[in-house]
Amino acid sequence: MAAVLFSACTEESLMPDDGMKGEVTISLSSTDETNALPCLKSENPAPETDDLPDIDGFEVEIYNSAGIRLYRDTYANTVGKLIPLNAGEYRLLAQTGDSTGIGFDAVWYAADEQFTVHGQTVEEISATARMSKVKVAVRYGPGLQAEYAQYHSRVRLDGSASKYLKFEKDETRAAYFPAGNLSYEFYAIVDGEWKYFPADPVECSPNDFITFKVELDTGAGSLNVVTVHLDEQMNVTEQKQVIPAAAAPKDPPVIVLSGFDEGKSYSFVEADGEPLAQADIVAEGGIKSCVLGISSEYLAGRGVPESIDLASAGLDAGIVETLRAAGIRWPREMSGARLANIDFTRSAEVLKYDKDAVPFSGTFTLTVTDGLDRTVTETFSVTNREPGVLSFSPVEGNAFARRFRGLTAGISDGNPEALALQYRTGGDAWTTVCPQSVSEGTAVYGDITGLVPSTEYQVRVIYNGNEDFATEPVTLVTEAAAQVANAGFEDWTTSKFTVSLWFWQSVDIDWYHPWKDADDAWWDVNSRASIPSSSSVNDVMTLKAFPTVTYSTDNKFDGSCSAQIATINVGQTNTSVGITGDSHPGELFIGKADDTGGHDSEGHEFNSRPSEFVFRYQYSPYGSEKFYAEITIKDADGNVIASSVKTDGAGTSSGKWEECRLPLTYRDIPRKAASIYISFKSVYGQDYGVNKWVDLEVGGTVQKVHCGSVLRVDELELVYE
C-alpha cells in the first residue's frame, strides 16, 4: 500500500524583496503501488489488501536542517496552500496511524523526504507515503487444522516478554508490528497438555509483509513452519523450521537468585551501589501466577499482606505502591511472560536506615506456576543493615582565605560516593557538596570556593542525607586575605649616611628606606653594597657612592611613587667618562639587610596562603638583561610550602607599565603559613653592565650616575581565590 505526495511547481518569483525566499505547495494522492505483496503459491489465499487511509487525515510537518519544526497541520488544511520558506535544506514528514503499537488496527503510513528550497521559486517535491510497519499474517494448513482441536499462535517482537500478539486459530486478519526481529510461536494441546513450538526470528523492515504458514507434515510426524518474507523488490524469501512434535519443553519453571550469598540472603547498606540483587524467573510455558509470600515486620506495618500474586491484573494499587516504595520491582505485565524477575536492587537507593524504627528486612517465598501448571518455589531473605562508622578529620590547615582544600571522608561499611560534605556559618542552612572522586574507599572533595575570609564555619559529612549518620560539626576559621605592608611603596624614609674622606673630612650621602617606621618595617634594600664607608675624594660623589634602591615620583603605576631598583657602579676613581669601580645589582626584599647590603634575615611573619602574587612593573634593561622576582611562603618550621620565581623579566616599552602574575601552589595542604618572603632584583645572573654618566630621577630630582638596568615596581597584590 502507498500514498503519494507531490507538489505543483511554478517559476514566478514569490519573494522579490530579498531573493532569499521561496514557497512550496503540497498535494497528496493515492496509488496501488506496493513493495510488499503476498504472492505465495499456496492453496491458502493471502490476506486481502487493506484500504488506503483517508488522505485528508494525514498530518503534514516541515522541519529545517536543525531539526526545528516550522510547519504542522492536516493535509486537508495544507492542500493548495503556499508555504513560504527561506532558502535552505528541509525535511517533509507526512504520517497517519499508530507508529509504535502492535495490533490488528495498528497500521501506520509515513513519508519522509529531504528537499531544498531555492530563492524566488516554488519547488517541486515528491514523496511516497508507505505502510511503514511490518504487516503480519498467520495461515494454518489443512493437515494441522484436522489434527489439533485447540491451538493458537503468538508473534513476538525482539524477544520481548510483553510485546507480542496472539493469533487465534480462526484469525484471518493481518496485524501490524514495528520493524525488528519477529519470532513465531505455535501452541497446541497434545495428549492433554499444551505444547510449545518456536521458530527462528525473522528480521523485518518497514513495509515488509510476513506470512507465517504452519502445516503438520504427517509423514514425518512434525510441524513445518514456513516463514515468507518479502523484501522491497518483492522477491520471495522462505525460512523453514521443522520441529518434532515431541520437542515441547518438559522442564518446569526455574528461579535463579542473583546477588544473594550461599545462604540465599542479601543484605545492603543504603546507597551502597550494589549492581544486582534479584530473583530471575524462566518459565518457557508462560507465567500463570507469581505468588510472593512475605514475612516482614517492616512491610506488615505498612499494610502489605503475607501473600500476593505479582502476576495478577487485579493487584491492589496501594500494595503495589508500598512495595515499589521499598525498592521492590517486577514487570507490570507478567502474566504469560516467559522471562521475569523480582528485583531488590533499588531498595538500597530508596530506603534509609532509621535508628528509631523497625528496619527493612524480610523472608520471602516466591512460588511461580506456568501455563502448564508446573510450579517452582524459592525462599530467600533481604535485610537493610546499619551503615558503618564515619571518619572525617578536617584541620585548621584545610581552611584557606576563600576556600576549603584537601578535605576527605570515609565510612567503614557503606558507599563513600554517598558521603556528602556540608558547611555553614552560624545557624544558616547547610550547603552540600558531593565527592569529586573516590580513591581507595575514601571520598575526595574538590576545593570548596566562595568562602569569606576571617570567618568561622561549621563543617561535617553526612551519609546519604541521613541525619542519623552525620558527624559532629567541626569549626574551621578561614584565613585573613592579608596583604604585605607598604604594597604600593608610598612610604619612604630618607636618611643620611656619612662617608669619611681624607684629612678628617666627611660627606653625607642620601639613601632611602621603604618604610615609615623602622620598628615596623617589612622591606629592606641592599643599598649599602654601593655606599662605601670612606672615599678618598668628594668630587662627584654619585660616582663614588650611590644607593641601589630609590624611589621615583615621575614613574609610578598608581599613587605618588614607585620603588626603583637599579644596577649601580661606584668606585674611588670613577669619573664621568671612566668606570673602574664595581657594579652592584639593586635588590628590594622583605627582611633585614646587614651593613654590607647582604641579608641579615629574610621574610616577615605572615599567616595567610595567597593563591597568586601580582605586581606592576617598568623595566629598562641594559642590553638583553632580565630582572628577577620571587615570592616564598614558609611554615613555622621554615619549610617552603609554596613559591614562585620569575627569572625572565624582559624590558617594557618606554613609559609602559606591565602586570606580572606569579601563581602559588600548595601541595602539603595542612601546613599553615608562618612567613612570607618577596625579592626584586634589577638583574638576574652574574653578568651585568652599566651606562656611563646617565640621568636617574630620584624623588623628582635628576641625578647623574653610572647606571645599568632599572626596575620599577608598584601596586603589589596578594590574590586569594
Which helix (H) or strand (E) is 240 found in, with range?
Answer: strand 236-244
Whether residue 548 contacts residue 530, with contact meaning beta carbons closer than 8 Å, is answered with yes
Secondary structure (H, E, C), 479-511: CCCCCCCCCCCCCCEEEEEEEECCCCCEEEEEE
**401 grid coordinates:** 582565605
| Residue 482 placed within a domain | no
Last residue of a domain, one of 357, 384, 411: 384
| Residue 333 placed within a domain | yes
- Whether residue 56 has pLDDT greater than 60: yes
Closest-CA residue to 311 (of 339, 280, 333, 343): 333
Distances (CA, A) of 582 to 545, 660, 686: 11, 30, 13
| Residue 485 placed within a domain | no
- The torsion angles phi and psi of 35, rounded to 5 degrees, stand at -110, 15
- Whether residue 49 has pLDDT greater than 90: no
- Whether residue 177 has pLDDT greater than 50: yes
**Mean pLDDT, residues 83-91 taken together:** 87
- Tell me the per-residue pLDDT of 431-463, one tens digit each, with 9 for 90 and over: 999 999 999 999 999 999 999 999 999 999 999
Whether residue 392 contacts residue 461, with contact meaning beta carbons closer than 8 Å, is answered with yes
> Amino acid identity of 485?
A
**Mean pLDDT, residues 695-713 taken together:** 96
| Residue 488 placed within a domain | no
Closest-CA residue to 28 (of 84, 95, 87, 105): 95
* pLDDT interval class at 500 (50, 70, 90): confident
Alpha carbon of residue 191 to chain centroid: 61
Which helix (H) or strand (E) is 459 found in, with range?
Answer: strand 456-463
The pLDDT assigned to 51 comes to 64
- Spatial neighbors of 534 by CB under 8 A, at least 6 apart, are 499, 500, 501
R_g (Cα) of the chain, nearest Å: 45
Domain match, 450 and 305 both: no
Q: Strands 375-384 and 265-268: what pairing?
A: parallel
The pLDDT assigned to 397 comes to 97
Q: Which residue did the predictor score with more confidence, 13 or 325?
A: 325
- Tell me the per-residue pLDDT of 350-359, one tens digit each, with 9 for 90 and over: 999 999 999 9
Residue in this structure with the C-alpha cell 524467573, named with its chain if needed: 281
Query: Which pTM value belongs to this model?
Result: 0.62
The pLDDT assigned to 21 comes to 65
Domain match, 235 and 322 both: no
Last residue of a domain, one of 97, 131, 165: 131
If one counts the domains in the chain, the total is: 5
- Burial class for 51, CB neighbours closer than 10 Å (0-12, 13-18, 19+): exposed
**384 grid coordinates:** 537493610
The pLDDT assigned to 131 comes to 82
- Tell me the per-residue pLDDT of 268-307, one tens digit each, with 9 for 90 and over: 999 987 678 999 999 988 899 999 999 999 999 999 999 9
Give the bridge partners for 30, in sequence order.
3
- Whether residue 159 has pLDDT greater than 50: yes
Q: Which residue did the predictor score with more confidence, 551 or 6?
A: 551
**Mean pLDDT, residues 181-187 taken together:** 89
**Mean pLDDT, residues 672-697 taken together:** 94
Last residue of a domain, one of 221, 247, 273: 247
**Mean pLDDT, residues 590-617 taken together:** 97
By three-state DSSP, how is residue 652 classified?
coil
The pLDDT assigned to 462 comes to 98
Residue-range definition of the domain harbouring residue 297: 254-384
The pLDDT assigned to 85 comes to 85
| Residue 483 placed within a domain | no
Closest-CA residue to 178 (of 98, 89, 278): 98
For the sheet with 307-309, list strands across it.
Answer: 265-268, 375-384, 361-370, 287-295, 307-309
**496 grid coordinates:** 643620611
**161 grid coordinates:** 516478554
**380 grid coordinates:** 530467600
Domain match, 375 and 398 both: no
Stated length of the chain: 721
Alpha carbon of residue 170 to chain centroid: 56
How many CB atoms are closer than 10 A to CB 287?
Answer: 24
Q: What is the CATH number of the domain that holds 434?
A: 2.60.40.10
Angle at 200 between CA 197 and CA 203, to 5 degrees: 140
How many CB atoms are closer than 10 A to CB 354?
Answer: 14
Q: Which residue did the predictor score with more confidence, 16 or 649?
A: 649
Secondary structure (H, E, C), 378-431: EEEEEEECCCCCEECCCCHHHECCCCECCCEEEECCCCHHHEEEEEECCCCCCE
| Residue 237 placed within a domain | yes
Of the candidate ranges 53-57, 434-438, 623-627, 671-675, the one whose mean pLDDT is the lowest: 53-57
The pLDDT assigned to 26 comes to 63
Whether residue 211 contacts residue 39, with contact meaning beta carbons closer than 8 Å, is answered with no
The pLDDT assigned to 41 comes to 24
- Whether residue 20 has pLDDT greater than 70: no
The pLDDT assigned to 290 comes to 97
d(CA 659, CA 618): 9
Alpha carbon of residue 638 to chain centroid: 41
Buried b (16+ CB within 10 A) or exposed e, 121-144: bbbebebbbbbbbbbbbbbbbebb
Domain match, 646 and 536 both: yes
- Whether residue 492 has pLDDT greater than 90: yes
* pLDDT interval class at 17 (50, 70, 90): very low
d(CA 257, CA 261): 9
d(CA 395, CA 108): 67
Of the candidate ranges 399-403, 537-541, 615-619, the one whose mean pLDDT is the lowest: 537-541
Domain match, 112 and 178 both: no
| Residue 487 placed within a domain | no
The pLDDT assigned to 29 comes to 47
* pLDDT interval class at 587 (50, 70, 90): very high
The pLDDT assigned to 39 comes to 25
**Mean pLDDT, residues 703-716 taken together:** 97
Distances (CA, A) of 63 to 113, 217, 366: 10, 54, 52
- Spatial neighbors of 22 by CB under 8 A, at least 6 apart, are 14, 15, 84, 85, 87, 117, 118, 119, 120, 121, 122, 123
Closest-CA residue to 125 (of 117, 134, 136, 133): 117
The pLDDT assigned to 210 comes to 87
Q: Which residue did the predictor score with more confidence, 243 or 660?
A: 660
The pLDDT assigned to 241 comes to 42
Q: What is the CATH number of the domain that holds 715?
A: 2.60.120
- Whether residue 387 has pLDDT greater than 90: yes
Domain match, 524 and 567 both: yes
Residue in this structure with the C-alpha cell 616577615, named with its chain if needed: 604
Mean pLDDT, rounded, of the chain: 86
Percent of the chain with pLDDT over 70: 87
d(CA 257, CA 281): 9
d(CA 27, CA 23): 14
Q: Which residue did the predictor score with more confidence, 87 or 223?
A: 87
Q: What is the CATH number of the domain that holds 262?
A: 2.60.40
The pLDDT assigned to 42 comes to 28
Alpha helices in 37-184 (DSSP H): 75-78, 142-147
Angle at 72 between CA 70 and CA 74, to 5 degrees: 155
How many CB atoms are closer than 10 A to CB 450?
Answer: 8
**Mean pLDDT, residues 678-694 taken together:** 93
Whether residue 469 contacts residue 390, with contact meaning beta carbons closer than 8 Å, is answered with yes
The pLDDT assigned to 52 comes to 73
Distances (CA, A) of 603 to 401, 418, 421, 565, 632: 20, 44, 37, 19, 9
By three-state DSSP, how is residue 460 classified?
strand
Domain match, 527 and 599 both: yes
- Tell me the per-residue pLDDT of 187-231, one tens digit each, with 9 for 90 and over: 888 777 777 778 888 888 888 888 888 877 655 445 555 444 433
Domain match, 84 and 151 both: no
- Spatial neighbors of 51 by CB under 8 A, at least 6 apart, are none
Domain match, 143 and 81 both: no
By three-state DSSP, how is residue 323 classified?
helix
Closest-CA residue to 104 (of 182, 172, 185, 53): 172
Domain match, 307 and 380 both: yes
d(CA 74, CA 64): 19
Of the candidate ranges 100-114, 140-154, 449-463, the one whose mean pLDDT is the lowest: 140-154
d(CA 450, CA 432): 14
Q: Strands 122-123 and 21-24: what pairing?
A: parallel
**255 grid coordinates:** 528461579
Residue in this structure with the C-alpha cell 567541626, named with its chain if needed: 474
Residue in this structure with the C-alpha cell 499474517, named with its chain if needed: 137
Alpha helices in 216-370 (DSSP H): 297-300, 317-325, 347-350
Domain match, 463 and 522 both: no
| Residue 11 placed within a domain | yes
Q: Strands 690-698 and 151-157: what pairing?
A: unpaired
**702 grid coordinates:** 635628576
The pLDDT assigned to 490 comes to 97
Buried b (16+ CB within 10 A) or exposed e, 369-400: bbbbebebebebbbebbebeebbbebeebbbb
Domain match, 335 and 439 both: no
